[in-house]
């Protein structure tokens, strides 16, 4: 078999979940919204009301992970909002390991698909 990822995504559940991006494959509508996370939203609000930057980072990283692995959300939606959360986590704590790891994973997914990473697109028209 040739090395590297397949050119097209496999259907959901077709790959094992351990140690790969397979649990984040999602399915169905690529634009389906993320599942609401009121508990995680409240944890972020509570953390932001304080001054502990590490606590804020942890709260954002937890919500980012929940969004990234949301099987009900479309890939085009969940990766973008998860990336925003991981960036917010790293803004508050640049050493947050989970946020660094998952941000890199999402960026790798975009790169492997030949797509620009959201938030890094050059300004203006494509041409």
Read off the pLDDT band of 124 (50, 70, 90).
low
Residue 28 pLDDT grade (very low, low, confident, very high; cuts 50, 70, 90):
confident
| pLDDT score recorded for residue 52 | 98
| Residue range of the domain that includes 51 | 36-112
Give the global pTM.
0.75
Minimal CA–CA distance to 14: which of 1, 32, 26, 2? Answer: 26
pLDDT for 125 equals: 62
User: Does residue 50 lie in a domain region?
Assistant: yes
The answer to whether residue 30 sits within a structural domain is: no
With respect to residue 1, please indicate whether it lies within any of the assigned structural domains.
no
Distance of CA 127 to the CA centre of its chain: 28
The verdict on residue 24 lying in a domain is: no
- Structure tokens belonging to residue 120: 């890094």
| Among the listed residues 83, 102, 72, the one whose alpha carbon sits nearest the alpha carbon of residue 12 | 72
**Residues 70-77, mean pLDDT to the nearest whole number:** 93
Q: How many domains does the chain have?
A: 1
Whether 101 is in a domain gets the answer yes
pLDDT over threshold 80, residue 10:
no
Contact 75, 115 (CB under 8 A): no
């Amino acid at each position: 078999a040739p090395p590297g990822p397949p050119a097209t995504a496999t259907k959901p559940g077709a790959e094992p979940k351990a140690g790969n991006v397979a649990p984040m494959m999602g399915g169905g509508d690529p634009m389906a919204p993320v599942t609401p996370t009121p508990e995680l939203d409240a944890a972020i609000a509570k953390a932001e009301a304080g001054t502990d930057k590490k606590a804020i980072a942890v709260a954002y990283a937890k919500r980012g992970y929940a969004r990234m692995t949301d099987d009900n959300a479309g890939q085009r939606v969940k990766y973008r909002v998860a990336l925003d959360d991981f960036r917010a986590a790293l803004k508050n704590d640049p050493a947050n390991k989970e946020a660094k790891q998952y941000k890199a994973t999402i960026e790798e997914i975009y790169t492997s698909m030949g797509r620009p990473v959201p938030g890094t697109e050059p300004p203006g028209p494509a041409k």
